[in-house]
Chains A and B, each alone.
Chain A
Amino acid sequence: DTEVTQTPKHLVMGMTNKKSLKCEQHMGHRAMYWYKQKAKKPPELMFVYSYEKLSINESVPSRFSPECPNSSLLNLHLHARQPEDSALYLCASSQEGSGVSYEQYFGPGTRLTVT
């Protein structure tokens, strides 16, 4: 199974309610990632988890809080959004090996619209 799944596919939120994005993989990968992608732009790295521990936080605002409950699951909790948070949120996973980058497997993304 080389699939990364993400739920929900679409999310429309006001600026004050809280929601969570979910990501799951069953490839035994120990590195998982969150990216944010605006229209016609490349993905921008937000967070990296390595062996369920947060290893990279690319100066993401605190209204985004990631969580890695176990080696297969990755969540992104959203609080008090801003309009500029509207984007495609992509989850990815890869092997983890002493600072070496491997190919990443991406989910289909969650499209967030902040109203």
Chain B
Amino acid sequence: SQQGEEDPQALSIQEGENATMNCSYKTSINNLQWYRQNSGRGLVHLILIRSNEREKHSGRLRVTLDTSKKSSSLLITASRAADTASYFCATAPNQAGTALIFGKGTTLSVSS
């Protein structure tokens, strides 16, 4: 079952622009993770933010987490054509052990 909902479903931007994707979830979590998937390939882990953290950075990525609103956002700054991919948030519900539940994803297209 899916718990995360990403918004928007699709996003098209120019190189150099910033891209923001949002994720909402339903149950309490111990952490939230973001993954990238290039077309038809495996997923790559981008960043993990724990439930007691509010913001985290990794290179051009910035993730925020608001547990009161059950939402997270992923910001990619100065986007590149190589950032074109699908981005998924994945939640680790408190009662689910190691299992992740993936949201529907945002498809990002960056044109040069």
Pairwise interchain contact A42-B99, C-beta atoms closer than 8 A: no
Instruction: Verify if A103 is at the interface (C-beta below 8 Å from B).
Output: yes
Of B35, B41, B97, B102, which contacts A99 at CB under 8 A? B97
Q: How many residues of B contact A (CB 8 A)?
A: 24
Interface of chain A, main secondary structure? strand
**Which of chain B's residues have a CB closer than 8 A to the CB of A105?**
45
**Interface locus among A12-20, A76-84, A106-114:** A106-114
Which residues does chain B contribute within 8 Å of A102, judged by CB atoms? Answer: 48, 98
- Is B40 at the interface (CB under 8 A from chain A)? yes
Is B42 within 8 A of A45, CB to CB?
no
A97 to B98, CA, bound (A): 8
Q: Which 7 A-B pairs have the closest CB atoms?
A: A101-B92, A42-B102, A106-B42, A103-B45, A106-B43, A108-B42, A99-B97
Task: List the interface of chain B (C-beta within 8 A of A).
Answer: 2, 30-31, 33, 35, 40-45, 48, 88, 92, 96-105
